[in-house]
């Protein structure tokens, strides 16, 4: 029995993993549709279910806010655990692994994002320059 369980992905890998976010530049805020967050980047959200599907929103002042979809796929380690179940006759372990997501991994993980700088607000700068010019034009010449 112990040999059969040793091939089980649930035992060897677990059903959760850390989800990592890296941004260029660093220092962004990260929130997910799962209600989980981390800040500042680079950062990690621990214990996300391997079979989760969710969206990630990344925000940093002066940069465009971006949203990314995270999904899951069969991992190499999960496939090996499942194969161990089949080879060693662990039918119960194979069913358990297939139903709890232990054979999966989040993709992409880590999520690597290059943030795009927002264009400078030239209209506000132009308005200030015009006001400044008006003020200096109103001053009497000495």
Q: What is the CATH number of the domain that holds 123?
A: 2.60.40
Does residue 89 form part of some domain? no
Q: Domain range for residue 58?
A: 16-80+100-134
Does residue 105 form part of some domain? yes
Q: Categorise residue 101: left if φ over 0, alpha if ψ from -120 to 50, beta otherwise.
A: left
- pLDDT reading at 6 higher than 50: no
Alpha-carbon distances of 30 from 36, 37, 46, 81, 117, rounded to whole Å: 9, 5, 13, 32, 17
User: What predicted TM-score, i.e. pTM, was given to this entire model?
Assistant: 0.66
Average pLDDT, the chain: 80
Which position has the token pair 């069969």?
A: 74
Does residue 141 form part of some domain? no
d(CA 3, CA 40): 43
Does residue 46 form part of some domain? yes
Mean pLDDT of 36-43: 98
Domains: count for the chain:
1
Q: What is the pLDDT of residues 67-107, one digit of tens each?
A: 999 999 987 654 444 455 454 545 545 555 455 667 899 99
């Amino acid at each position: 029995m112990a040999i059969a369980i040793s091939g089980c992905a649930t035992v060897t890998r677990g059903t959760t993993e850390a989800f990592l976010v890296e941004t260029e530049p660093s220092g962004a805020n990260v929130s997910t549709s799962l209600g989980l967050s981390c800040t500042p980047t680079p950062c990690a959200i621990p214990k996300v279910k391997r079979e989760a599907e969710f969206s990630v929103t990344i925000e940093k002042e002066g940069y465009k806010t971006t949203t990314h979809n995270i999904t899951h796929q069969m991992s190499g380690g999960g496939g090996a655990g499942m194969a161990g179940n089949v080879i060693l006759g662990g039918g119960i372990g194979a069913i358990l692994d297939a139903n709890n997501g232990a054979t999966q991994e989040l993709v992409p993980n880590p999520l690597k994002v290059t943030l795009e700088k927002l264009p400078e607000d030239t209209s506000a700068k132009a308005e200030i320059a015009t006001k400044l010019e008006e003020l200096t034009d109103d001053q009497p010449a000495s």
